Chains A and B, each alone.
Chain A
């Protein structure tokens, strides 16, 4: 008797799941791998709803996804049929030819995509972008008011505001920055862009950062660290967010995808959250463009996925980045999806983009430059060597790595 009920219930469950799930896909295996932050959790959660009825959808998010995706997609069949990537991570896949062109799939299943969502390289769509991201200014309105300064629009004003806050005894360390490891390299890249610098000699992979703009970039970074917690070299985005939510910081240059997280009513007080405002990344040294880089997040489909799996994956991901998903998670990110309305938390990213901030360079050898910057400017920030020496070290470390990778 009992057995019969169980069987009936089970078959009912199977029937109902085939009726609702599957997103119209008959068969296939969809394996999603990606970075782990709220916006990507929203996308992969919506994609996971397609699970069932012949198609299986698995999701594996990890904050170190960029370090594992090349190995995962090199395997045949690929460990992940789709990798959720950004401009930098796509380059790593392109360097090894691990992503497949999406033009045919878009023609069949991607009619809702906007033109700007299609990341086209040499005429072929290699990825579909669904959100924008950039590091931009977060500021505490109440603290700036008490210190009697306006919202800074240049880094020189950021320094002046920090000095006013410190002099009035409002905070000991008014500025925070993501100054550890890979993040430190990105802060250098952002600030160097803001100074109008070029990383490579035109048309080659030869480095060209050891110049007056490079020195000015390092001096500005060092000036900012004077107003940071002495442990600044150990701060990543999580640490900066925690310090912000604890009310220890009034000015920081943090990711747009953290704007929702610091105003979500959790982990902080209402007073801090209601006074947390967002603005464009500041400009520096009299230049006109914000000192930041623009990023997009999107998905690419593995070359080593079978035709059926690739199609199932594409349809699943289109469900993941549907306008309904964006409408249900408005605060999670500045969505690039059709019909998405900009939110107050998107203001910083949008203002930075409108201000003319440059996208993070999609060059095959940019990763080597980034790694060298992360490692070699530490000595200067600790006061152990001159800016010129740090930049010479940066170039030397880059050249050694680029030679080994075959770029020089």
Chain B
């Protein structure tokens, strides 16, 4: 009976961890998306200082979750997002509003993919 109880405990733990993971990546991705969108709208208004602040905040937020991200997600997916963040930053520093929008779109798309991959939907399971 000890083994069975242990198995139930492990199963509950991994289910709880996976629910926590879904909540965590959804929150992180929403926060990142808001920051990126703010960066784009500031860039469109040529408020480059604010755009840089939002983009840097997005980069800082992503970096602060590095341990969690690299422990849970495929490094290929997380590396793509890191690349997009640095691309957005460089476009903001070059003060090019069109390229900022493009980089932001790519970044939000990758974030969405990462978030959706963790949601237990038919598409992600099969």
Same complex: no
Residues of A that sit less than 8 Å from B by CB: none
Q: Which of B's residues lie within 8 Å of A, judged by CB?
A: none
